Amino acid sequence: MNFADILAKAKYMTLHQKEIRTELKALYQKWPDIKRYLKTLGCTSANAEDIFQESLIIFCRRKEEKDFTLTTSSFHYIKSTCKLLWYNEARKHQKFPQSELSQEIQEQEDEWFWKEQKIRSIETAIEQLGKQCRELLQLFYGMGWNMTDIAGKLGFRNDKVAKTQKYRCLQKAKDGILNVQASESPVINPENPFL
């Protein structure tokens, strides 16, 4: 190799390195997009940074290979590399098969949804009760008062009248819950349609 060849190679390396630096700067500007993309795949922020850095190293190494031809934009190349690196990382640490895990999550979401629907129906039905019914139920169920004390507080003749009124209030509340559930959503919990 003569001096002219060495000079040409050095000039090529300098131009090539400048090109890579320019591409890396552009890719670092796209980092928020890649991070957001990796998060949609279930990757944490810390893992996303590591994966992004690793994909940049792979990109630089590939660019230095003589027979490497980039057939897509460098952004899409990095994005695809990140995706593959994340899938490999996730597969290494995966303890349960994906279908079992997603089914378990779905069951938890369904259970949570039905509980929230039930609580919302109860709250709405109680708000629709009269003031005296709300207070009676709150004193008995919420505060744990006995019927004699409730009768004295609310001005009933005796504890039997308070007990009868509590029963009527409960019936109103149950009917209210059924009405609220019927009006809010035609969807019925298949496990317990009366909730």
| CA distance linking residue 37 with residue 23, whole number of Å | 20
| CA distance linking residue 98 with residue 149, whole number of Å | 57
Across the chain, mean pLDDT equals 78
Question: What residues have CB less than 8 Å from 86, skipping those under 6 apart?
Answer: 38, 41, 43, 47, 48, 51
Q: Give me 193's structure tokens.
A: 């349609």
Identify whether the C-beta of residue 180 lies closer than 8 Å to the C-beta of residue 121: yes
Please state, for a pLDDT cut of 90, what percent of the chain lies above it. 14
Helix ranges (H only) for 65-158 are 74-93, 98-128, 131-137, 147-154
Identify which has the larger pLDDT, 146 or 105.
146
DSSP 32-43: HHHHHHHHHTT-
Q: For the residues 89-111, what does the mean pLDDT come to?
A: 61
Instruction: With a cut of 70, say whether residue 16 has pLDDT above it.
Output: no
| CA distance linking residue 129 with residue 194, whole number of Å | 20
| CA distance linking residue 106 with residue 171, whole number of Å | 34
Fold adopted by 117-195: Arc Repressor Mutant, subunit A (1.10.10)
Which residue ranges make up each domain of the chain?
A: 3-93, 117-195
* pLDDT tens-digit series, residues 148-191: 999 999 999 999 999 999 999 999 988 888 887 777 654 444 45
- pLDDT given at position 164: 94
- pLDDT given at position 149: 92
